[in-house]
Chain A
Amino acid sequence: MVVRFLEKIGRSVIRGFENGGWVIILALEALGHLRRRPNWRQVLHQMVHLGVDSLPIVMLTMLFTGMVMTVQTAHEFIRYGAQASVGGVVFIAMGRELAPVLTAVVFAGRVGAAITAEIGSMKVTEQIDALRVMATNPVAYLVVPRLISCALMLPVLCIFANVIGTVGGYLVATTFAGISSFSYLHSIKMFAVISDVTGGLVKTMVFGGIVAIIGCHKGLTAPEGAEGVGKATTGSVVTSMILIFISNYFLSLLLYR
């Protein structure tokens, strides 16, 4: 019983390392292809498909996140007479953590799943084999445009997320918390520095890369059949989210210490 349990754990660990190895190989191969001329037509198509189409859900999520952030902080800050700091706190929290991480999580759920489902169904219907037979490298044709698009579009989405989150906070602060417009904006000017935003944007570039590589890897290795594609899609979202949270910790240490 114990031996079987240990064997099960061992198998999972080995499988985890094996998958990790394949993901790293795929990432290195995709980065190698970046040196050659990428297919810009595909890149632009993916930027619209993966990036622009994600804007409404990102805006909605971050509007309410900014609003709830102010609801939670304003009351406590007013109790301690620090209402003049609310705008700055909301802005810094947005720029450093909330906007990059939440945008990446929403992005992983929407875009990571879409990438895996699309590439997975291409794999099970032999379209990936057809690409190879037509002398077209699937990594160059499918992975590289998605990697570039995700790494470029997630920071752009994050800028929108920062703006809309701060606006959401502003609306709640000035409408319900009795904080003046001047006080909210002045505290942003007082406390925030440019690295609060640029650090978050650097993080989202990494998160975009993670979502793209994991999404493509899960699609390219999807087991046969509709059930296999479904499992791969779920796995893609879960793995991307876990990696986003882990890498966020280390990136925060690196960028803000």
Chain B
Amino acid sequence: MIKLVNVSMGFNGKSVLNNVSLEVSQGETMVIIGPSGSGKSTILRLLVGLLKPSAGEIWISDQEVSHYSEDRFNNLRRNMGMVFQYSALFDSMTVGENVAFGLRQHTNMTEEEIARVVRRKLRMVGLSGQEEKMPNQLSGGMKKRVSLARAIALNPGIVLYDEPTAGLDPMMSATISRLIASTRRILKVTSIVVTHDMESAFWVADRIAMIYNGEIVACGTVSQIKESDNPLVQRFINGMASLGNSARRRA
């Protein structure tokens, strides 16, 4: 369904991704973990066509898309949704208008039908009745949920999440993780989640890939990653866990 083959990418002469290969099957949830600046978000940006790779192939639904023009990519994007790290809600529009945006742009639905879909999607993310609120009236967690409702408004086959739990409290992080899992279950979507929140990663992932310095250093199921003998992987996941334990002890 989604495949990266020997993809490389650099900015201003600095290599960000180096020969990255990754395959995500239909309906699977792939979580990409790794330290900040390791190239995780760059992979998502390449997949939605916001960036072009300097080398390698990107396959989406049996099409090699790395050299697609913007117009050609737009046909694919209608089947994709993305939840941005800082939500990226249109701040001049209400919550309802944000969720309705894709429906108004790409379908011939009537306003009544659009309102019905908006209500349904907001109910799915636990925000019923919030249609008239403006983004600046929402908390960080609510913004993320509106962003998810907007991403799934057109019932896409692929949903990408860029740091969905970053900056949220543990309870809201758990809520977002549950939403990612339920979205996958209800809509049967293929999901790619970029995060360094290990609790969330273990909760939602079918498989986890770890990226370090622009290279995939490990890829496997949750239990394979937990039991990996790669010191980088262990340091990353245990570093996070031990930090959590010591914080808990202090509390």
Contact = CB atoms under 8 A, between A and B. Distances in A.
B205 to A, nearest CB: 23
Contact of A135 (B50, B92, B106): B106
Chain A contact patch, size range: 10 to 19
Nearest to A126: B88
Contacts of A126: 84-86, 88
B70 A137 contact: yes
A132 B82 CA distance: 11
A53 B65 CA distance: 44
Nearest to A130: B88
Contacts, number: 51
Interface in A109-137: 118, 122, 125-127, 129-130, 132-137
Contacts of B89: 127, 130
B88 A135 contact: no
Contacts of A127: 88-91
B236 interface: no
Contact of B84 (A122, A129, A136): A129
A125 B106 contact: no
Given A134-B102, A135-B106, A129 B88 contact: yes
Contact of B82 (A118, A130, A136, A137): A130
23 contacts: A118-B92, A125-B91, A126-B85, A126-B86, A126-B88, A127-B89, A129-B84, A130-B82, A130-B88, A130-B89, A132-B48, A133-B48, A133-B50, A133-B77, A134-B77, A134-B150, A135-B74, A135-B77, A135-B78, A135-B105, A136-B74, A137-B70, A137-B74
Interface of A: 118, 122, 125-127, 129-130, 132-137
